Structure 1
Amino acid sequence: MSTDPAAITDVQVDGVPAGPAPAGVFVSFEGGDGVGKSTQVALLGHHLASLGREVVVTREPGGTPLGLELRRAILHGEDLDPRTEALLYAADRAHHVASLVRPALARGAVVLTDRYLDSSVAYQGTGRGLGADEVERLSLWAVQGLLPHVTVLLDLDPAVGLGRLTGDPDRLESAGDDFHRRTRQAFLARAAADPGRWLVLDASQPAEDVAAQVRARLAPLLVAAGAAASVGGAA
């Protein structure tokens, strides 16, 4: 898949037309619990803001007021069967993209999200055993095919990542070692199948080293986006 921000990053799903192509740059951060996603999102956000870019930092679930309610229900509420869990994530994602992500991209912002649809494919599709293809189709339908320009996978042994966490574990964090090993392998398999979109980094490195590699990957993309915006403005 092209990482040119002028290219369409929406894919058609089962004959359903994709949404409008974004003008901004969309970056997602993925990986297991405790790998440092929120740290890297914050570091990249500060860097881009210092360059004068409009940056929208968000997360899934919980990037909107409705998302916060769904986050509490999914992660800290009563036990849910896997299909209900997958559908709640898809509902959050549909609202998140329609109300926050697409409007930000349409005005040329850089959107950084801590988790996106690849988490559902890994966690509910593979981890919960619902089937990666089924969950991917559901997620793509929910967002009208919108995919990130770049997805950063912070890869780490699940035992190490979970050992970094503080506080009481949520429903997914406490799902067990086998569950977390399956989700890690699912992320790695998705990254290997689409290297044009994914950047896989060793999350055991110092945070600043990881951040530098992320910036290096995004630099040409941001230059191209700036050039495209300039051409559009001149027109």
Structure 2
Amino acid sequence: MKGCFITIEGIEGVGKTTNLKFIQAWLEKQGIEYISTREPGGTDLGERLRELLLHGGDVSSEAELLMMFASRSQHLEKLIKPAIDQGKWVICDRFTDSTYAYQGGGRQMNLSSIESLETLVHKNVQPDLTLLLDAPVEIGRERAAKRSAADRIEAEDLAFFNRVRDMFLARAKQYDRFKVIDATQSLEDVQTNIETSLEHLLQRESV
């Protein structure tokens, strides 16, 4: 049986890292073999590009977009697609929806350019489930500020992140693979909702 591809999305401070660990524990409990990865990153090349993207100083919007997809191309070919073909589940912290949200929404880049790169880089490979952890920008930024110093993208202003959030929510309305989870709930409630989505996916794939 082919593996499943799960992505976790959302603005900064919504609890992606914490809930990724919850998903890992759930999969282990089910006896499902998995790998956990992130974008940008996931491979040696991707991690080097991640460092440049987040801490590389003055990077143009076009260069940022191309670097994101260069990292993603390597990620898919060397890690994600081989794992899925081996029957493993893949959990990825961010994927192409983040590019639409941050570069398309936040940076207001042409969506057709992103669509063209998406078609070039991963054609028919799409997540089976996308968990969108959603919270107002002010709440996410307040939580993120307590966590660590802002990187190059996290340092953008409130208007930027409101556009990012709006694009995430717009895509969630467009694609059935999304499950929007209110990240302002208690952690227990958030994880109950995540578990329900995972159970539905498992049942669907077991048919």
Distance (Å, rounded) in 2 between the aligned partners of 1:96 and 1:220: 27
Q: CA RMSD in A?
A: 1.4
Aligned length: 205
Q: How does 1:1-235 map to 2 (within 5 A)?
A: 23-165=2-144, 166-194=147-175, 196-226=176-206
Q: Which amino acid aligns with 1:170?
A: D
Distance (Å, rounded) in 2 between the aligned partners of 1:120 and 1:220: 27
Distance (Å, rounded) in 2 between the aligned partners of 1:200 and 1:123: 18
Distance (Å, rounded) in 2 between the aligned partners of 1:36 and 1:182: 19
Q: Which amino acid aligns with 2:197?
A: R
Q: Which amino acid aligns with 2:17?
A: S
Distance (Å, rounded) in 1 between the aligned partners of 2:188 and 2:112: 35
Q: Deviations over 1:44-76 (max 9, x none)?
A: 111111211001111101211211111100001
8 Å contact kept, 1:117–1:136: no
Task: Write out the 4+ residue segments of structure 1 that deviate beyond 4 Å after TM superposition.
Answer: none
Structure of greater Rg: 1
Deviation at 1:42, TM superposition (A): 0.9
Task: Identify the residue that residue 232 of structure 1 maps to in structure 2.
Answer: none
Distance (Å, rounded) in 1 between the aligned partners of 2:16 and 2:112: 25
Sequence identity, in percent? Answer: 38
Q: Which amino acid aligns with 1:71?
A: R
Distance (Å, rounded) in 1 between the aligned partners of 2:173 and 2:201: 21
Q: Which moved more, 1:88-97 or 1:129-138?
A: 129-138
Q: Deviations over 1:15-55 (max 9, x none)?
A: xxxxxxxx111110111011111111110111111211001
Distance (Å, rounded) in 1 between the aligned partners of 2:92 and 2:200: 20
Q: Deviations over 1:74-111 (max 9, x none)?
A: 00112111000000000000110111000110011111
Q: Which runs of 5+ in 1 are unaligned?
A: 1-5, 7-22, 228-235
Deviation at 1:134, TM superposition (A): 2.0
8 Å contact kept, 1:98–1:143: no
Q: Which runs of 5+ in 2 are unaligned?
A: none
Higher helix share: 2
Q: Which moved more, 1:131-140 or 1:36-45?
A: 131-140
8 Å contact kept, 2:132–2:181: yes
TM-score (norm 2): 0.94
Q: Which amino acid aligns with 1:89?
A: M
Q: Which moved more, 1:32-41 or 1:204-213?
A: 204-213
Distance (Å, rounded) in 2 between the aligned partners of 1:140 and 1:150: 19
